[in-house]
Every structure is written in structure tokens, then in C-alpha cells.
A = this chain, B = another copy of it.
Amino acid sequence: MSLSVLRAMPEVRVVGFSHRESTRRKARQQGVASEVAETLAAAVEQADLVILATPIRTFEGYFAQMSPLLKAGAIVTDVGSTKALVHHWASKRLKKDVHFVGSHPIAGSEKQGLDYARDDLLIGARCILTHTAKTNTAAFKAIRTFWQTLGCKVEQMSPAAHDRTLGMVSHLPHLSAAALVNANRLEDLYSAGKGFMDSSRVASGPANIWVDIFLTNRKACVQGIDKLIAQLERFRSAIDTDDERRLEKLLEQARQKRQRLIEYKLKKKELF
């Protein structure tokens, strides 16, 4: 993230901060920021733009801590994977002359931490911006330009639509991957092939980050699990009753839907 900014906007001063001393030291050694501040105050009080990239449930506390420190007119955004609660916290905790816009850059992988930092991660990536009726229009446009300058393709959604949609296409697959791994005995997993590895890849993501995602998008996650279980039960019933025609129909439905998805992604040049 910070490497992308340093590459795309060499005139911008990027100040990094982590509450962890070891992370600050490593960030300095690796030169991922123009400067690494020792305190939150030092990091944000001169900032025109603050980007939160911590586990989502720390945001409310950071908003509260930052609020008195920020300049009037400063913009705050985040890179979290859920948005409705974040907007709610921002409106509750940030003072009125500071502007919040939600950002969700869809990039990265199951690997996390400074060791995997890259300056090209955002090029061509989608970034969903979220706003409410109260969002400051100039701040929204500034954030849009910011992500576009980093190479992102920007979309916009309401926080609720974001959470419902991402709940289905991102949070549910993660739950399904983790459940699939947990359903298997380790000794059976040694027989896994590429299909299993791909199906379960996201389950290698950091548990603490994902706890926050699920717990800040509970309704969509629970509804998503219910929908997935309902679909699994349709397969179960077709197999259990030896219903060839129904089973083929269910599989063909999935194959064709995924084919339309692939065609869409190819057209949008979003296939990886």
C-alpha cells in the first residue's frame, strides 16, 4: 500500500505508524514509508489523508483517538473488508470537520505482513469506495483520484450493498474453505490434489483479520452460510436418491453460471 503510494506519487510524504515497535523497526529497515512515526499523534496530526489498515474492530478506537489530533478538512479512509459498521463508527467518533470515505481495495492474497509488500499490488485492482448521504463530495472525489492514481479501477457502493455483496462473494468462500479444511482429517488431506488446494487457498489467511471481517458482517455471513447449506442439501438429496437428472442440472447450473462469470471477467480484463 505505502510502496504503491511512494511509486505513484513520489511528491507525497508517506508517514507510517504501527502500535507494534517491531513492525515500526521493520518498516524503517525496509523503507516502506518516507518516515515511520513513533506515536499516533506524530503520524496523523499533519496528515491530509489518513489510511487505516489495521483489523477492522480496531477502527472505532483509532477514530476516537485520532479525532482530536486531526487537522480540519483532513480525510480519513480505510482498507477494511466490511463497511457498514465502519461508516457508523466514523460518524460517531470523528469530529465533524474531518471527512470519512470507505475504501476496499480488492488485492492482496492469503499472505500478510511487510514481507509480502509490493509496489505493484494495486495496479489494475478493483477498489470499491463506499459513501452515505452524509459523505463530503469533495473528499469522495479526492479519494477516488487517489486510488485511480495508484492504478485501481474504482467502483462505488453503499456500505450496506458492499457488505451484502462481499459477504456472498468473499466472506462466504472463506468460511466455506475453512469448513472444508476442518471437515477433513489431516491424513486424508495428504491425498489432496490441485482442486483441493485451490478450493481451500483462502483458508490460509490470517485468523485475526478474518475474525474481524466476519464479526463486522454477521448478518450477511450467517445468511450466506444458510444459502450455502441449502445448496449443499440439494446436492446431497440428488446424490442420495440417485437422481441423475437433478444432479446434472445442479452441476450444469454451476458450470454455466461460472462460465458467464469468466466471460464477464475476461471482458473487464479482471481475470488473474
User: Does residue A236 face the partner (Cβ distance < 8 Å to B)?
Assistant: yes
Given A191-B166, A203-B254, does the pair A228, B179 have CB atoms closer than 8 Å?
yes
By a CB distance below 8 angstroms, the chain B residues around A140 are none
Question: What B residues does A231 contact at CB under 8 A?
Answer: 178-180, 182-183
Closest-by-CB residue of B relative to A178 is B254
Expressed in whole angstroms, the minimum distance between the Cβ of A267 and any Cβ of chain B is 10
Report the nearest B residue to A106, measured CB to CB: B193
Contacts of A13 in B (CB 8 A): none
Contacts of A271 in B (CB 8 A): 197
A53 within 8 A of B: no
Q: A261-B186, A264-B190 are in contact. Are A251 and B195 (CB under 8 A)?
A: no
Stretch at the interface among A39-47, A60-68, A239-247: A239-247
Q: Which of A183, A224, A259 has the most CB of B within 10 A?
A: A183
Interface flags for A95-118 (1: CB within 8 Å of B; 0: not) read 000000000001001000000000
CA distance A234 to B183 in the complex (A): 11
- CB distance A250 to B196 under 8 Å? no
Further pairs besides A168-B188, A211-B244: 14, Cβ < 8 Å: A169-B191, A169-B192, A173-B196, A173-B199, A177-B199, A179-B228, A182-B257, A186-B260, A186-B261, A189-B261, A197-B272, A198-B202, A200-B254, A214-B239
Spell out A's residues near B (CB within 8 Å).
106, 109, 126, 128, 165-166, 168-170, 172-186, 188-208, 210-211, 214-215, 218, 221-222, 224-236, 239-240, 242, 244, 247-248, 250-255, 257-262, 264-265, 271-272
